[in-house]
C-alpha cells in the first residue's frame, strides 16, 4: 500500500491477513477496554466492560470480499488498525484502534486519511460513514475536525449482545457521522 511520513518516522499501511488476527484483537482490546486503554484518550473502559472484538469476528471481516482491515505499522510494530466495508456508495469505517501509549502523534489521523483513500480508490465510494457512541463528545469532536458531520441519525446500542461489550450505563446509543469522499 502506501508509506506516509509523520513527525517521528514513516508509517507503512497494508491490508490484514488471517495471520494478523490475534495481533488485531490484542490492539483493539488494549485501545478500548481495561486499564491499559486508559493510557490513551479513546478508551471506552468507563462506558463498557467485556470484549470489543474477538478472533472469529476479525477473521470473518478479513475473509469478506467487501471488507478490508488496514494496518499501520512502523518498524514492524503494529500501531493502528481500522476496518472499512463497502456498503453501496458508502464505506463504513470502524474497529479503529491506535496503540494507547502512542496516541496523539498523528497515527490515527494518517490512518483515517488512508482509509478514506482506499474506500474511494478501491471501491469508488462517495462517502464514509461510521457510528460513534453519542456520549463520546471528544471523539466526535475529533471526527468533526476531520470533515465528518453529525447526521442526527441515531441507532440503539445493542444491549444484551455481549459481543459489543457489557454496558456500565443505560443511556448508550450511536450516531451516524458522514463525510463526502470527493
pLDDT of the residue at 68 = 98
Query: Are the beta carbons of 120 and 181 closer than 8 angstroms?
Result: yes
> How many domains does the structure of the chain reveal?
1
- Is residue 73 in some structural domain? yes
Confirm whether pTM is higher than 0.75: yes
Q: What's the confidence (pLDDT) of residue 158?
A: 86
Question: pLDDT tens digits, the chain, 182 residues: what are they?
Answer: 654 444 345 899 999 999 999 999 999 988 776 565 556 566 665 776 667 789 999 999 999 999 999 999 999 999 999 999 999 999 999 999 998 888 888 999 999 999 999 999 999 999 999 999 999 898 999 999 999 999 999 999 989 888 777 778 888 999 999 999 97
> In angstroms, rounded to a whole number, what is the distance separating the alpha carbons of residues 109 and 117?
12
| Residue span of the structural domain in which 37 resides | 3-129
Cell digits for 57?
A: 469476528
Cell numbers given for 155: 441507532
115 within domain boundaries: yes
C-alpha 140/C-alpha 151 separation (Å) is 12
Q: Which three cell numbers stand for residue 53?
A: 472484538
For residue 60, being part of any structural domain is answered with yes
170 located within any domain = no
Amino acid at each position: 500500500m502506501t508509506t506516509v511520513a509523520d513527525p517521528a518516522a514513516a508509517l507503512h499501511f497494508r491490508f490484514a491477513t488471517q495471520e494478523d488476527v490475534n495481533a488485531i484483537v490484542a490492539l483493539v482490546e488494549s485501545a478500548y477496554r481495561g486499564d491499559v486503554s486508559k493510557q490513551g484518550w479513546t478508551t471506552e473502559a468507563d462506558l463498557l466492560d467485556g470484549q470489543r472484538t474477538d478472533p472469529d469476528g476479525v477473521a470473518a471481516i478479513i475473509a469478506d470480499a467487501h471488507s478490508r482491515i488496514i494496518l499501520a505499522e512502523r518498524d514492524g510494530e503494529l500501531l493502528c488498525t481500522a476496518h472499512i466495508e463497502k456498503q453501496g456508495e458508502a464505506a463504513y469505517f470502524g474497529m479503529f484502534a491506535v496503540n494507547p501509549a502512542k496516541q496523539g502523534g498523528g497515527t490515527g489521523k494518517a490512518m483515517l486519511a488512508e482509509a478514506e483513500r482506499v474506500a474511494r480508490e478501491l471501491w469508488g465510494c462517495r462517502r464514509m460513514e461510521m457510528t460513534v457512541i453519542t456520549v463520546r463528545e471528544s471523539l466526535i469532536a475529533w471526527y468533526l475536525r476531520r470533515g465528518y458531520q453529525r447526521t442526527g441519525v441515531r441507532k440503539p446500542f445493542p444491549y444484551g449482545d455481549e459481543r459489543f461489550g457489557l454496558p456500565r450505563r443505560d443511556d448508550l446509543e450511536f450516531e451516524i457521522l458522514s463525510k463526502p469522499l470527493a
